[in-house]
Chain A
């Protein structure tokens, strides 16, 4: 079912720069909707290195990727951003009224006069194993995520991978599967110890099969997979009969459909000017790692600066008749009211 929204600014990407866009735009009374393919905010900070310390955020001597994300979420909370998680922006078109319309792969449609692309290194997409002809089964019997558990009921399932996604889904799908085999390169799992213990227990009791090896080949007909061949160290090649294959080899970033939005590109980056951080298309901005300009440094702090300047021009586009007043959050009672300062009793 299509969901329609209207807002001031559509932000593609909810990483640290996407989130800080909300703050800078919010100070100028502009409301935002954010679209992100991940199921949570933070982008690379949350997906690639939530536990790793970052040392070059101004005034934060050390902060982890997750802490930075959590802090940004607190900082932008007064502006009530609307998030569309787990969705990919797949199309962008200009409407007759001059506004932009962005569609997602979940049939969400958002209209706004301004778009900010803060998509970092692109969309996180599943890493696909280099198995010949695997594409012919994708979406029908081979998947890289589980959207509907029903599709796995009473099926012969093979799950590949050694991380939390592989283990979590192996445990969740085992009770409803006809059979379930977990395949991993080595007999050592980086998933949560509790999940690994549960998996070992199911294997011991014969309710799940564990095969250590590399999947080399897939067979089947039409979109239906029927057999996977696993190369093992001690038993040679093993054939696994199956009707569903789930591969969890982690995520990688790809630019994806943004490449088709009609923006000028420079080696998968979006060139912008350094005054407004606007792209070749007026009304569409790019902030953070995804943009390119002379001297660009891919640092979070660069993106924060870019967001502040972008917001000025976004305001002028959305309110061409209004005068833009430059204010400090330290002294402006107007800004402090927007931030809910008195409500929170913050000095």
Chain B
């Protein structure tokens, strides 16, 4: 199982994913630049990613608290998500996300 992460400098990384982990945790575990200061409890907005168009329909809709937290990011776009709120499943094998500048440590 893999995910594709493009970092803030535009470098693409194909990394091993683990089922059941938060995508934020997978990104962090590979040492890519994600701040995630609240540790994955949807209390900050520093694991901000943009989800590639082809994957957006495969994600669960965001909850209100994620929506509200994302508003703290000036670089929020329509495809913005908090990567701590995306749980890795088989259906997401190959998921492609881009790390936002606001997620930089």
Contacts and interface: CB of A to CB of B under 8 A. Distances in A.
Contacts of B102: 127
B14 interface: no
Contact of A298 (B39, B41, B43, B101): B39
Contacts of B101: 130
Interface stretch (B15-23, B55-63, B67-75, B91-99): B67-75
Nearest to A268: B105
Contacts of B71: 162-163, 184-186, 190
Contacts of A130: 74-75, 101
B41 A250 contact: no
A186 B43 CA distance: 20
A257 interface: no
A215 B39 CA distance: 29
Contacts of B76: 185
A44 B38 CA distance: 8
A215 B76 CA distance: 12
The secondary structure that dominates the B interface is: loop
Interface band, chain B: 10 to 19
Interface of B: 35, 37-39, 41, 43-46, 68, 71-76, 101-102
The 3 closest A-B pairs by CB, nearest first: A250-B72, A48-B43, A129-B74
A249 B70 CA distance: 10
Contacts of A121: 37
A52 B38 CA distance: 12
Q: B43, B46, B68, B74 — which one has the most chain A CB atoms within 10 A of its CB? A: B74
Contacts of A261: none
Nearest to B72: A250
A251 B10 CA distance: 26
Interface in A108-167: 121, 127, 129-130, 162-163
27 contacts: A44-B38, A48-B37, A48-B38, A48-B43, A48-B44, A49-B41, A49-B43, A52-B41, A52-B43, A127-B72, A127-B73, A127-B102, A130-B74, A130-B75, A163-B71, A186-B71, A190-B68, A190-B71, A214-B74, A215-B74, A249-B74, A250-B44, A250-B72, A252-B35, A252-B37, A252-B44, A253-B37
B45 A250 contact: yes
Interface in A263-313: 298
A185 B73 CA distance: 10
Given A127-B73, A252-B44, 4 more contacts: A48-B43, A127-B72, A163-B72, A249-B73
